[in-house]
Amino acid sequence: MDSDGYCENCGHAQPRERDHMERESGPVAAVSDRGLRHHRNEDSFALGHTALPDGGPATLAVVCDGVSSATRPDEASAAAARAAGDVLLAALPRGTHPQAAMH
């Protein structure tokens, strides 16, 4: 593959890293693939684990659908998933209800 992302043998564009994303985190996993209608994967997700105030475990999964009418839906969904995940991972151990944490 050359520096522009094209195969040096056949000349076809090679898949980008975001075209197929897989993450495994303890007992949960997430997968996102580029769809058939767009030239890039516009969706994103975040996974995490934390402890609740009572010591019980909490598993976090945030899924963000890219808005294809936006200028950079892939970047927007990644930023939103990351921000929501960070807020929830900080709020849950303090006993904040997830809905309250997102307002």
Q: How confident is the model at residue 36 (pLDDT cuts 50, 70, 90)?
A: low
Q: Write the single-letter amino acid at 17.
A: E
- Judged on CB neighbours under 10 Å (0-12, 13-18, 19+), 92 is buried
pLDDT tens-digit series, residues 40-94? 778 899 999 999 999 999 999 999 988 878 888 889 999 999 999 999 999 999 9
Q: How far apart are CA 53 and CA 71, in angstroms?
A: 40
What integer pLDDT is reported at residue 10 of this predicted model? 83
Which of 5 and 11 is assigned the larger pLDDT? 11
